[in-house]
Amino acid sequence: MTIISLIKKAQKGDDKAFLILFQKHEEDIYRMAYVYVKNESDALDVVQEVAYRSFKKINTLKNPEYFKTWLIKITISCSIDLVKKNKKVVQLKPEYEEFLGSEDEDVSLSITLQELLEQLNEDEKSIVILRFYEGYSFKEISEMLNIPLGTAKSVLYRSLGKLRKKFKEADISE
């Protein structure tokens, strides 16, 4: 059964067809959510929320061939909502962490790519992730995020410039 026929069945209320569709993309949704929320529990919550929202709104999907893109867009939205909600939680100051101990005392202090990405704003991070981690084209990214094509390109190149600068500041460059 083709994806488009499954989508059409799901849009007519077929729960099993929707479940088959969703399960095909569940790992991609989880990976995208994890990049934003940074822990398994929250990422699973996002996957659940995406399942709920996409099931309720499947009939609003106009182009069945963009089902995965539509799911990723919902995933980004849910992830950002959760991150904003969690920002209201008070985090422990880094200088107090030494009193708590660490599970792994031999952790290297080098800056990772993930830490560099965290220094970007949400729009920049979304575009970098969609382009390099998920492999979407600029056209797909601009449609997904509802921004002009030129904006998607300029935000990506500005983001890459920021990452290069942070990379050099950390004295990691060659």
CATH code of the domain in which 141 resides: 1.10.10.10
- CA–CA gap between residue 17 and residue 11 (Å, rounded): 9
- Residue 98 domain-assigned? no
Query: Using the 8-state DSSP alphabet, how is residue 65 labeled?
Result: G
| pLDDT tens, residue order, the chain (174 aa) | 688 899 999 999 899 999 999 999 999 999 999 988 888 999 999 999 999 999 999 999 988 888 998 999 999 999 988 888 877 654 444 444 444 444 444 334 344 667 777 788 888 888 888 888 788 889 888 888 888 999 999 999 998 888 888 777 765 544
Whichever domain contains 21, its CATH number is: 1.10.1740.10
Full residue range of the structural domain in which residue 49 is found = 1-90
- pTM listed for this prediction: 0.65
- CA–CA gap between residue 26 and residue 130 (Å, rounded): 16
Tokens of 7: 């989508």
Query: Using the 8-state DSSP alphabet, how is residue 133 labeled?
Result: I
